[in-house]
Every structure is written in C-alpha cells, then in structure tokens.
Structure 1
Amino acid sequence: MRLARIRTLFVLSAMAAGTSLIAGPASAQTPYDGLWQVTFVTKTGSCEATARYPVTVADGRVTAAGAPISGTVGSSGAVRVSFSGASANGHLSGSAGSGKWNGASGGIPCSGHWEASRQ
C-alpha cells in the first residue's frame, strides 16, 4: 500500500513537471510589442527629408529588417533608438508615438522629429 502511494505521488509529480516544461517560460511582452510604422522628418540640416521604416518591438527591443535601427521601449512607453549614426527619443502611448532625433550627414548636423503608428 505504501509503495502504491509513493508510485502515485511520483507519477503525479512527473506529470506536473512535464506540464510545466511543455508550457515553457512566459514571454516578457510589453504593451508596445508589435509592428510599427515610423516616419523620420528632417527639420534642420541636409539629411534625407523624410524616411519611413517598419519597425518591430519585441519584449521592449526595437529592430527593423534591412535597416540599421535598434533601441528600446520601456514599459511606460519611453523610447530610445539609434539608427545610421543618429539617435532618437520620445514616447509611445496607445497606438501612436512621437519624439525628436539628432544626427549628421557629411559631418553637418541634422535634426527633426519622428512619428509612429501601430500597424
């Protein structure tokens, strides 16, 4: 009887462990994860007038396929990004965001603003 009880506990423990392994670790999603369309607009300097990039936010990290964009989005929506030697910061809220950027083209400073919308 005692052996049967130990065997039952062992089987139940093994099943519970297997279930947790199948479920895997929870993903650390942020409220801003997903696909975003970002438009950079130059206000001063000789940088490209406008540039649009589809970017992906995953677990608070910003990346773009085929474009040198990387950065972070905090859980509060604070954005910090770098791209092609420039830097940008701002804020996302809900399905939109905006901010400022600074960089250079040919050694001449450029700056402007950016806008984002969730896709």
Structure 2
Amino acid sequence: MFVLSAITLFAAPAIAHTDHDGIWNVTVVTRTGSCQPTSSYPLVVTDGQVSGAADPSGSVGRNGVVRASLKGAFASGQLSGNADSGRWNSASAGMPCNGRWMATRQ
C-alpha cells in the first residue's frame, strides 16, 4: 500500500550528502485500522531528500530524523547506521490506520 512509501517517509530541510543517503528497503506494518497489513517498498535518500515510485515527500535530517508523507499518510522515526524504524499514521480515504515501519539500507 502507499503507506509505506510514505515512510518514504520524511519532511525536514534538505542537507547535501548525508550519512543516510542510499537505497533503503522499507516495510510498513499496520497495527490498527483496515489498511493493508504489510507492505514493502524501496526508497531512495539523496542529499537528505526521500524519493520513490509512489512520489513521496519528505526528508532525513543529518541526525537521522525522518519525516515523510504520501497521499494522507505521515511517517516519522529515526535512521541510525544501516537500519531503524518509526511510526506512521493515515486517515486517507476515510480509513484511519497506524503502525510501524522498519528500514534497512541495501
């Protein structure tokens, strides 16, 4: 579902060549609501900006703080090294959902 792409997930100011740049495999897990139970997506962080096939909006700060959004879903969390996780929530299409996301760098 598009929610994980939201974990494409990140909305802080762009920073050139961060330690978190690269390709990340993100898995989104729904804890509550009727959204898709689990989804996985590749996302790219370039100069701190998040991009991907689902056209997410967001950033990863120099300190690894993640803020992202995609079609009504919002994600936040922390990247550290080559893996980490965070939370997401969505009220898109009248379906309130929330859960966790996990990311690992390729």
Q: What TM-score, normalized to structure 1?
A: 0.73
Correspondence 1:52 to 2:23: no
Structure 1 unaligned regions, length at least 5? 1-26
Structure with max Cα Rg: 1
Where does residue 73 of structure 1 map in the other structure? 60
Q: What's the RMSD between the two structures over aligned residues?
A: 1.4
Of 35-44 and 96-105, more deviation after overlay is shown by 96-105
Where does residue 107 of structure 1 map in the other structure? 94
Q: State the shift of 1:83 in Å.
A: 1.6
Q: Indicate conservation of the 8 Å contact 1:47/1:105, yes or no.
A: no
Q: State the shift of 1:104 in Å.
A: 2.5
| Greater relative contact order structure (CA < 8 Å, 6+ sep) | 2
> After TM superposition, which residue ranges in structure 1, 4 or more long, deviate above 4 angstroms?
none
Percent identity (aligned): 55
Matched residue count: 92
Secondary structure of the 2:36 match is: coil
Alignment partners' CA distance in 2, 1:106 and 1:39 = 21
Q: What TM-score, normalized to structure 2?
A: 0.82
